[in-house]
Amino acid sequence: MAQLQTKVQPKPVPRSQLDVRKIAGACGAEILGIDLSVAPDAETVAALRQAFLDHQVIFFRDQDLTPVQFLQMAKLFGQPIEYPFVTGLDGFPEIIQVAKLEHEKSNFGGIWHADTTYLERPPMGTMLIARELPPYGGDTLFANQYMAYEALSDGMKALLDGLVAINSSAKADVTKTREDRIKDSGSKEAGKTYLSEHPAVRTHPETGRKALYVNVAHTVAFKGMTEEESAPILNFLFQHQVKPEFTCRFVWRPGSIAFWDNRCVQHNPVNDYHGFRRIMHRITLAGDTPR
């Protein structure tokens, strides 16, 4: 009599073995096959954190998260904090609405920047989820500031390693991108000016790598120099640090999430969809004092 064959059940793939796919050479990776509405296990959270550090910005697709679920997800990676200029959603002060409406011409944060570097402790990272999108446009660009620093000459690195950058929340090109949201949801602090001093080159507290830490939206001068003296160096850096070869571009779909490392990445939402609505929800996570 033929011996009965025992069917061997395949072993489940550990959840921590993520499907991580780079979207560009410089930075950015999509994480496939994960449902963030279900709390991931500790191994998966650790793997996501490593992907975040390895690729500087990670993306998820088709995540239908409520504000509660979005906030729970964010808390897996850090402490959500409130944004100083715009009030949060009702019941969720840590979640702000990033919107451009059909009649508006400026988009919120529509300039290359790292988030709120004018604070003493800028955010570690930022999470953005797409709620409503235009039929075209509205992509976001990201720029790897490790690569921007590493591409500099030894002489420029030596100069920058000793400089401290002065950052302000009141630079005109960025304040105008907040005007529409301050009109409809401005906080009590909306009229306040924040100033900070941070190294022009910071060392990432988790990876130990050096990254350029100036940006055109917030950096006004170097400490010990006038704005006029600082301008030639800063203007060079502002153009250098967003060269195409340091960047990736993300095309949003409803339910897409981007999670970027504010310590080594800049971003720029492209304002190319006048006449259409774009609604996103954003959470920022507490960071450290740059060193």
Active site (catalytic) residues:
113, 115, 267, 282
Torsion of the alpha carbons at 124, 118, 116 and 230, rounded to the nearest 10: -100
HEC assignment per residue over the chain: CCCCCCCCCCCCCCCCCCEEEECCCCCCEEEECCCCCCCCCHHHHHHHHHHHHHHCEEEECCCCCCHHHHHHHHHCCCCEECCCCECCECCECCCEEEEECCCCCCCCCCCCECCCCCCCCCCCEEEEEEEECCCCCCCEEEEEHHHHHHCCCHHHHHHHCCCEEEEECCCHHHHHHHHHHHHHHECCCCCCCCEEEEECEEECCCCCCEEECCCCCCEEEECCCCHHHHHHHHHHHHHHCCCHHHEEEECCCCCCEEEEECCCEEEEECCCCCCCCEEEEEEEECCCCCC
Distance of alpha carbon 119 from alpha carbon 205, whole angstroms: 17
